[in-house]
């Protein structure tokens, strides 16, 4: 009986899976078009899976082993089952391999079961709780039916007497297993992640982020530009179908592992955001329905079951109650911790900014100080609404060389909007004293500089971003410099990764941009700076999101600190796992309330290391962390630490003659607090 | 895109639908002099948009060039579909053209800012219009409470946060200053898509204006107010104190003639009228 039943079961499960696959693909195709290389993409899947995806999964050794055993076992077992039981190929060797594959899968499923008893809060429950049992059903069922083929049990054991009953039970177990593994894969069960995930890897919206055989850095963190001149299309994402189809496909690939939830600073602060739930809400919207079946942690403070959506219904309603609430989208600091951790390579930040674009550009609904900041950026080119002509007032005594006078310089020093902030002016002064001590040929744009557009873009105002960026590009095109150096990782990121798209053939915008820590490190390595011995207390270092995760610069700041004689006491969350200070993505401007503040949590991380001082490399981080009430560690920018430790060589006679007024070394002495 | 308006707290109810015209001008940012929507005019638009079941139309008399267009589009970005632009020469007196357009438009309530940010910015336009149309005018409109049977019950803002409830006969002109609620954000998409409906009108050239010599204002040093205060309370009192005008009298229950007489007398005393 089983001999006839098994092929029927197998092929009907496969047929149903195929129907489900077509339905699923049609759900994705509701999205906007986006062209991808189909064949090339599909060919890349094994590599992207085995190298890039595995690289992320491997951060959790337990689950990476589990997944290798389970998924590897399953793929092999499924293929062999089709050959052996589907087509009835009577090969003892294949049967033995099939036995081995199902055994591996069974061991994997035991590990899955163990991880889920009890499940950590970041994991989803609901249907996911039955997954280990379904995996066992499939592996055990397949194992037993294969025993006769492998010659372990006599042929025909399942045909008489007790065997009949055993066969019935076995058939039921296999139906369960096939149901979950084949049918569920395309009809929306937990195994959907395998089907959608593989295609998501093939058709990812940012193919640049995957490694290739040539090696090298593979990072893709700049936001994609929005076409603004088409009068008919709406700007940004209003309804789920406004995402591109491969974004929808990406959302569908989520395994609800909750790694993103575990690292999200907004979630930890009790703000109404949970990246995992957000992705699931997009899936709900794409398929139509309510979030009542969601079985993971909710958005803090927002009960599950009150939101619903359809593919062509709005995601956000002004009055709330649509698919997600606006506060959820505005809570994100765009720190990219979720993207960094996501084993399915889902791009949460892109999705959030896409939806913000609609809210800002079409609804005109940027919360709290958002509208004011954007108006200021439009009218004065800086978020504070300060007189743009007063950009260099803070440096009246520094006699900074201007690009407008010099026309060319080795280093173009991008000052950023920190020029209007008294705290950041100290950092800038320190960095300028370092540049002067190393005799660097540099110049600033002065009043020709504008806000880089970072905050406007992250608040969804692509129009203001592009306007600022294009004018900055035009200004930069007038001068010759071999690199741009800045103390602001946000300007750094935007200049380096986002201006390129807006360049024109006459004014290309591909600059060599460096963060000041990288540049100082180069000066140190070149022997241009000498330092006094470090006499302060213990120090920890806070990685800025826009320097670390966005641009992969983890080492240079640490090297500089080491060169100063400082041994960094690392925080539990540092490097690519660094926790955001709460200052990115316009979050301090939209200011969505939570239970605690993100910078407070970060200073708590600092406190746990026992460090007396936290070294930072970003004006936002400085402001956010210094806003935490005392007692707390001191906060100093790397540039300040370096400037404090400088040993100034005796002034060069020639230099003082040619430039009598503000001799460089004097300034250094003044700048050191 | 729908800039949905109905959600904002609307106070007035008008069963028949009320025609509201808002006069908008080109603004200028105080620091950078870039053109923008004028703050007070934008507040007037905001007030019009919060009136329930009012049909709002925007009117601007001036030149059409790219800078002006950008400023006008700032109003469209508040969720307005189109602005009527009455094209006028730079030297024109816009009152006749505006009066003609308003008479033709069946507007029952005309809202506008108290004073423009560019041009003469004398704040006299609403008065001249009211005179030309023969309509009543109310200044410092803070809120429209109710509109029924050809009259409106409104709140007028007085200095230092005081409010006065007034009942005015429609059609009327009302001006809005910075005590009115701030304008909503102007969104890029609707601003870009909104329509500028251009009407050509003969310009009545303002001869006097042509004869004027206009130059940028010179910055005058501000006199420092020296506060001798020993406690925080005193400092606060000094900072919040009303500029003392001294003297003055409050007239209540007088006929309009008596009121006018008193004002006339005062202006003579002060040398404003000779
Ligand atoms: S979005 Fe990524 S990290 Fe978050 S739950 Fe889904 S698969 Fe896991
Ligand atoms: S980018 Fe950061 S704040 Fe935003 S959802 Fe991801 S982890 Fe949370």
- B238 with B138, same domain? no
Q: What is the mean pLDDT of residues B121-150?
A: 92
Establish if A648 touches chain B: CB-CB under 8 angstroms.
no
Strands B82-87 and B54-62: parallel
User: Residue A89 pLDDT more than 80?
Assistant: yes
- Ligand 2 centroid–CA A579 distance in Å is 10
- The DSSP bridge partners found for residue A308 are A290
Coil, helix or strand at residue A445: coil
**Is B78 inside a domain boundary?**
yes
- What pLDDT band is residue B72 in, cutting at 50, 70 and 90? very high
Q: Which residue of chain A comes nearest to B192, CA vs CA?
A: A231
- B202 with B249, same domain? no
Q: What is the mean pLDDT of residues A63-76?
A: 94
Q: Name residues 73-112 of chain B within 8 A of A (Cβ).
A: 77-79
Q: Which residue among A235, A364, A387 sits closest to B3, beta carbon to beta carbon?
A: A364
- Quick one: pLDDT at residue A654? 44
- B14 with B137, same domain? yes
pTM of the model: 0.90
User: Residue A162 pLDDT more than 90?
Assistant: no
- B65 with B192, same domain? yes
**Is B58 inside a domain boundary?**
yes
- What pLDDT band is residue A652 in, cutting at 50, 70 and 90? low
Give chain A's length: 673
**Is B148 inside a domain boundary?**
yes
Q: Which residue of chain B comes nearest to A364, CA vs CA?
A: B187
Burial level of A635, CB count in 10 A (0-12/13-18/19+)? buried
- B46 with B171, same domain? yes
Q: What is the mean pLDDT of residues B178-204?
A: 93
Instruction: Collect all residues with Cβ–Cβ distance below 8 Å to B33 and sequence separation of at least 6.
Output: none
**Is B220 inside a domain boundary?**
no
A238 with B1: Cβ contact below 8 A:
yes
- What pLDDT band is residue A229 in, cutting at 50, 70 and 90? confident
Q: Which residue among B4, B185, B193 sits closest to A366, beta carbon to beta carbon?
A: B185
**Is B54 inside a domain boundary?**
yes
User: Residue A531 pLDDT more than 70?
Assistant: yes
Which numbered ligand comes closest to the C-alpha of A338? 2
User: Residue A650 pLDDT more than 60?
Assistant: no
Q: What is the mean pLDDT of residues A251-265?
A: 96
Helix (H) or strand (E) holding B81, with range, is none
- B20 with B49, same domain? yes
How many CB atoms lie under 10 A from the CB of residue A111?
18
User: Residue A594 pLDDT more than 50?
Assistant: yes
Closest CA of chain B from A228, distance in Å: 9
- Quick one: pLDDT at residue A399? 93
**Alpha carbon nearest to ligand 2 atom 2, residue:** A335
- The DSSP bridge partners found for residue B131 are none
User: CA-CA distances (angstroms) from residue A393 to A396, A448, A623, B41, B45?
Assistant: 5, 13, 21, 34, 38
Place of tokens 């201006």: A499
Residues in chain A within 8 Å Cβ distance of B7: 318-319
Coil, helix or strand at residue A204: coil
Coil, helix or strand at residue A671: helix
- Quick one: pLDDT at residue A159? 76
- Quick one: pLDDT at residue A319? 81
- B106 with B154, same domain? yes
- B239 with B118, same domain? no
User: Residue A665 pLDDT more than 70?
Assistant: no
- B144 with B246, same domain? no
**Is B227 inside a domain boundary?**
no
Q: Which residue of chain A comes nearest to B71, CA vs CA?
A: A379
Measured from the Cα of A193, ligand 1's closest atom is 7
Decide whether any atom of ligand 1 lies within 6 Å of the A196 Cβ: no
**Phi (first) and psi of residue A650, to 5 degrees:** -60, 140
pLDDT in tens, A326-368: 999 999 999 999 999 999 999 999 999 999 999 999 999 999 9
Place of tokens 């206009």: B214
Q: CA-to-CA distance for B45 and B113, rounded, in angstroms?
A: 9
- B32 with B148, same domain? yes
Q: Which domain holds residue B34?
A: 5-211
Q: What is the mean pLDDT of residues A228-237?
A: 89
A362 with B190: Cβ contact below 8 A:
yes
Domain count, chain B: 2
- Quick one: pLDDT at residue B13? 42
- B241 with B197, same domain? no
Q: How far from the centroid of its chain's Cα atoms is residue B20's Cα? A: 14
CATH number reported for the structural domain that contains residue B181 in this entry: 3.40.50.620
> Helices in A324-442 by DSSP H: which ranges?
326-330, 337-341, 348-357, 370-380, 403-406, 422-437
User: Residue A178 pLDDT more than 70?
Assistant: yes
Which value, in Å, is the radius of gyration of the alpha carbons in chain A? 29
Residues in chain B within 8 Å Cβ distance of A369: none
**Is B219 inside a domain boundary?**
no
A90 in the Ramachandran plot: left (φ > 0), alpha (ψ -120 to 50) or beta?
beta
- What pLDDT band is residue B3 in, cutting at 50, 70 and 90? very low
- Ligand 2 probe mutation, A263, A272, A324, A335, most atoms within 8 A of CB: A335
DSSP letter assigned to residue A532: P
- Quick one: pLDDT at residue A148? 87
- B25 with B146, same domain? yes
């Amino acid at each position: 009986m089983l001999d006839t039943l098994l092929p029927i079961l197998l092929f009907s499960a496969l047929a149903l899976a195929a129907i489900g696959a077509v339905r699923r693909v049609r759900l994705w195709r509701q999205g906007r078009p986006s062209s991808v290389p189909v064949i090339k993409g599909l060919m890349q899947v094994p590599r992207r899976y085995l190298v890039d995806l595995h690289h992320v999964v491997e951060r959790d050794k337990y689950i990476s082993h589990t997944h290798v055993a389970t998924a590897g076992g399953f793929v092999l077992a499924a293929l062999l089952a089709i050959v052996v039981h589907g087509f009835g190929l009577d090969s003892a060797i294949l049967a033995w391999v099939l036995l081995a594959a199902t055994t591996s899968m069974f061991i994997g499923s035991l590990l899955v079961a163990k991880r889920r008893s009890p499940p950590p809060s970041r994991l989803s429950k609901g249907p996911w709780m039955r997954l280990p049992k379904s995996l066992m059903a499939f592996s055990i069922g397949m194992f037993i039916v294969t025993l006769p083929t492998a010659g372990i049990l006599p042929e025909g054991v399942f045909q008489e007497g007790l065997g009949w009953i055993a066969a019935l039970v076995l058939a039921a177990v296999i139906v369960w297993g096939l149901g979950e593994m084949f049918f569920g894969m395309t009809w929306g069960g937990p195994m959907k992640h395998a089907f959608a995930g593989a295609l998501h890897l093939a058709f990812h919206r940012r193919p640049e982020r995957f490694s290739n055989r040539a090696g090298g850095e593979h990072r893709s963190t700049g936001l994609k530009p929005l076409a603004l001149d088409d009068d008919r299309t709406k700007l940004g994402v209003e309804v789920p179908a406004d995402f591109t189809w491969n974004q929808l496909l990406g959302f569908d690939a989520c395994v609800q592992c909750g790694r993103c939830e575990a690292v999200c600073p907004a979630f930890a602060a009790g703000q109404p955001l949970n990246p995992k739930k957000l992705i699931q809400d997009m899936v709900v919207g794409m398929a139509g329905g309510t979030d009542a079946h969601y079985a993971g942690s909710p958005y803090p403070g927002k009960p599950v079951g009150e939101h619903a959506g359809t593919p062509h219904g709005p995601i956000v309603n002004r009055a709330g109650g649509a698919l997600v609430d606006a506060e959820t989208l505005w809570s994100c600091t765009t720190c990219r911790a979720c993207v960094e951790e996501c084993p399915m390579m889902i791009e949460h930040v892109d999705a959030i900014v896409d939806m913000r674009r609609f809210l800002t550009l079409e609804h005109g609904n940027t919360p709290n100080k958002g509208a004011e900041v954007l108006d200021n950026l439009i009218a004065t080119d800086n978020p504070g609404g300060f007189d743009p002509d007063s950009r260099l007032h803070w440096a009246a005594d520094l006699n900074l060389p201007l690009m407008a006078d010099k026309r060319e310089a080795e280093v173009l020093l991008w000052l950023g909007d920190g020029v209007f902030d008294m705290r950041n002016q100290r950092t800038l002064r320190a960095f300028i004293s370092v540049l002067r001590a190393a005799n660097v040929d540099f110049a600033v744009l002065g009043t020709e500089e504008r806000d880089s557009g970072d905050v406007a873009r992250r608040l969804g105002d692509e129009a203001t971003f592009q306007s600022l960026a294009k004018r900055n590009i035009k200004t930069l095109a007038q001068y010759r410099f071999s690199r741009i150096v800045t103390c602001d990782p946000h300007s750094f990121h935007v200049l380096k990764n986002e201006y390129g798209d807006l360049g024109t053939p006459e004014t290309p915008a591909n600059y060599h941009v460096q963060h000041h820590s990288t540049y100082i490190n180069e000066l140190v390595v070149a022997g241009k700076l000498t330092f006094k011995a470090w006499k302060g207390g213990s120090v920890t270092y806070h990685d800025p999101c826009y320097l670390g995760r966005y641009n992969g610069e983890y080492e240079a700041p640490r090297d500089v600190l080491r060169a100063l004689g400082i041994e960094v006491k690392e925080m539990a969350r540092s490097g690519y796992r660094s926790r955001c200070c709460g200052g990115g993505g316009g979050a301090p401007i939209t200011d969505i309330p939570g239970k605690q503040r993100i910078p407070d949590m970060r200073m708590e991380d600092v406190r746990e290391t026992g460090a007396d001082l936290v070294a930072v490399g970003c004006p936002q981080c400085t402001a956010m962390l210094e806003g935490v009430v005392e007692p707390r560690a001191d906060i100093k920018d790397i540039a300040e630490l370096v400037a404090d430790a400088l040993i100034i060589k005796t002034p060069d006679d020639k230099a003082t003659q040619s430039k009598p007024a503000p001799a460089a070394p004097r300034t250094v002495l003044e700048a050191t607090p | 895109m729908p800039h949905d308006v109905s959600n904002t707290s609307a106070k007035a109810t008008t069963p028949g639908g009320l025609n509201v015209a808002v006069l908008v001008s080109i603004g200028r940012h105080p620091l950078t002099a870039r053109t923008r929507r004028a703050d007070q005019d934008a507040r007037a638009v905001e007030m019009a948009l919060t009136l329930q079941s009012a049909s709002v139309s925007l009117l601007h008399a001036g030149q059409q060039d790219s800078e002006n267009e950008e400023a006008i589009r700032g109003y469209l970005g508040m969720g307005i579909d189109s602005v009527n632009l009455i094209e006028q020469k730079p030297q024109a007196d816009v009152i006749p053209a505006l009066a003609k357009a308003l008479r033709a438009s069946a507007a029952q309530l005309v809202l506008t800012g108290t004073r423009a940010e560019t041009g003469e910015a004398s704040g006299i336009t609403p008065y001249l219009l009211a005179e030309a149309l023969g309509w009543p005018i109310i200044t410092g409109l803070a809120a429209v409470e109710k509109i029924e049977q050809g009259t409106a019950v409104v709140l007028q803002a007085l200095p230092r946060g005081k409010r006065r409830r007034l009942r005015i006969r429609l059609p009327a002109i009302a001006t809005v200053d910075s005590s009115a609620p701030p304008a909503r954000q102007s969104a890029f998409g609707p601003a870009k898509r909104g329509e500028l409906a251009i009407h050509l009108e003969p310009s009545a050239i303002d001869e006097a204006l042509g004869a004027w010599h206009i130059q940028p204002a010179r910055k005058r040093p501000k006199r420092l107010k020296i506060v001798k205060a020993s406690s925080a309370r005193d400092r606060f009192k000094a900072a919040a104190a009303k500029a003392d005008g001294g003297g003055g009298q409050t007239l209540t229950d007088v006929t309009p003639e008596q009121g006018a007489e008193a004002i006339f007398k005062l202006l003579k005393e002060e040398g404003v009228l000779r």
